[in-house]
Structure 1
Amino acid sequence: MINFKRADHFQIVVLPERLEEARIFYTDIIGLQRIERPKFNSKGYWFNIANIQLHLSTEEAMPRTSRHNAFEVTDVAAARLHLQSHHVEFLEEPVIPGRERFSFIDPFGNRIELLEML
């Protein structure tokens, strides 16, 4: 058995030629704080999200799949309005009792779910 303590980090990928655009999206639109990354990780950025990290790196081919990262937020309606003001693509999620949620697709094809516990 594995006893998980907490989520440490999530990794998402973008095409190499869009790395700087991704950095701007995640800092200026999403509002994440950049943090130092190890030198061996030559292409990409790391960010803080509450008490976990988001690792942004590059890949050549990125098909859209159902894989995603999910983050609990304090006001999912406000998050939706903020992302709508930046013309971000949304996906509606099936209803789960006790949760208000939606997913969005970042400009690089990554699916991210935001949820609020009711």
Structure 2
Amino acid sequence: MISALDHVQPAAPPGSEDRLRAFYTGVLGMTEIPKPAVLAARGGCWFMAGPVQLHLGVEEHFRPARKAHPGLRVTGIEAYGARLAAHGVRVRRDAELPGHRRFSCEDPVGNRIEFLEPSAPGT
């Protein structure tokens, strides 16, 4: 029986780890977590914020995920969007999901990431 989502693994091109670290820790505010030694040789890097983990894995013939994406729930979405914009990240807002405020952006290698927060009733 499934009890929880353990992690999501977007792909990244070889040699992109430094850019990913700068974005996921410096911009998004996540913490890098060490990969097990047996997996570290494959490249990539792992990040965590609360119970959420993203494992960026190296893919030799990488193509950014433009449609598939992690959806990350945030609190204070307006302030969080402003934080990303202050770092030069292009934030794309949309109001198409009833009951939520949300926006998306791209990580440094072009993968889509969605951020959402439930709206207060009547907003």
User: Which TM-score applies when normalising by structure 2?
Assistant: 0.84
Q: Structure 1 residue aligned with 2:34, among 26, 33, 36?
A: 36
In the alignment, the residues of structure 2 paired with residue 33 and residue 86 of structure 1 have an alpha-carbon distance, to the nearest angstrom, of: 17
Identity of matched residues, %: 35
Report 1:1-118 matches (<5 A). 3-41=1-39, 42=41, 43-59=43-59, 60-118=61-119
Shift of 1:91: 3.0
* Contact 1:89/1:106, CA 8 A, preserved across alignment: no
Query: C-alpha offsets along residues 7-28 of structure 1, whole Å, 9 cap, x if unaligned?
Result: 2101122211222111121111
Q: CA RMSD in A?
A: 1.6
Moved over 4 A (4+): none
Query: C-alpha offsets along residues 27-81 of structure 1, whole Å, 9 cap, x if unaligned?
Result: 1111111112112222121111221211012123214431010011011111110
* Contact 2:91/2:104, CA 8 A, preserved across alignment: yes
SS in 2 for 1:10: coil
SS in 1 for 2:67: coil
* Contact 1:88/1:107, CA 8 A, preserved across alignment: no
Count residues in correspondence: 116
SS in 1 for 2:5: coil
User: Which TM-score applies when normalising by structure 1?
Assistant: 0.87
In structure 2, the CA distance between the partners of 1:55 and 1:77, relative to structure 1 (3 Å rule), is: same
Shift of 1:90: 2.8
